[in-house]
Structure 1
Amino acid sequence: MESETNFQSEPFKSQLESLTQTIRSMSQDVKGDTVALLAILRTLEVLHREIRESWFREALPDNRQALYALLKEIEAYGGWPYIPRASLRSLLQKLTLDLEEEDSPSSNES
């Protein structure tokens, strides 16, 4: 499969590693800034959707042999990429637990 060859090429791997390091560095630089971290996550989500809906969809195989090769690649190297969203419910549960810990008499008596 042509794309497998491109993916494993040294320039591509180097660019991908550089991009990964840039995102990690940006995230570390704004550590503790929820709004900035949220902006990074939103950008990644938009990029994920854009790549999936345009270039990836256009690159999907058009025959069984190529589709089989792609499915083997997906199975062998980590599955289907997915960016889960934090649910409002999970954020509220965390807030509730934090508030309960602050109000707990046992946490104040120690």
Structure 2
Amino acid sequence: MSQDNQQAELQTIVNAIRTLAENCQGNNIALLSLLRQLEGLHQEIRDGLFQASLPDNRQALYTLLKDIESQGGWPYIERMRLQALFVNVEAAHNNHKGDETIINVATTPELHNGEATVIRD
């Protein structure tokens, strides 16, 4: 497959994912599922096909590194930090003081591995 055909096919996939995400707007569970699928696909490609295709000589490695540098760096899927996520939860909690849900977020990574604890009475 030519480079132009690959780019056109990739753009079609990107457009389909963008449309799916827009159709899920307001449905945080569906959007989270989409993000998990994308993260899983990223890991699958990186750990399988990409690693298997890594260069085996210095010249090819130099070419790859040059391409990575010139084309925007290493692809990375950033995870939302729980502290940032819970800023919204705290604001919502302040707006709904009568709710029975208590959210306890560990303030250090050592506690609960940075995970949230949700307690329902």
The Cα RMSD (Å) is 1.6
Separation of aligned partners in 2, 1:94 and 1:56: 37
Structure with the higher fraction of residues in strand conformation: 2
Which residue in the other structure is 2:49 paired with?
55
> Which runs of 5 or more structure 1 residues have no equivalent in the other structure?
1-5, 104-110
Separation of aligned partners in 2, 1:78 and 1:97: 36
The alpha carbon displacement at 1:97 in A equals 3.0
Separation of aligned partners in 2, 1:69 and 1:22: 32
Separation of aligned partners in 2, 1:78 and 1:65: 20
Which residue in the other structure is 1:16 paired with?
10
C-alpha distance after superposition, 1:37-96 (max 9, x if no partner): 001100000000000000000001111110100010000001000001112222112211
Secondary structure at the residue paired with 1:89? helix
Which residue in the other structure is 2:27 paired with?
33
Q: How many residues align?
A: 96
Which residue in the other structure is 1:69 paired with?
63
> Which runs of 5 or more structure 2 residues have no equivalent in the other structure?
97-121
Identity of paired residues, percent? 42
Which residue in the other structure is 2:38 paired with?
44
What's the TM-score, normalizing by structure 1?
0.80
Separation of aligned partners in 2, 1:99 and 1:78: 40
What's the TM-score, normalizing by structure 2?
0.73
Separation of aligned partners in 2, 1:71 and 1:21: 28
Separation of aligned partners in 1, 2:3 and 2:17: 21
Which residue in the other structure is 1:108 paired with?
none
Secondary structure at the residue paired with 2:26? coil
* 1:97 alignment partner, one of 84, 91, 115: 91
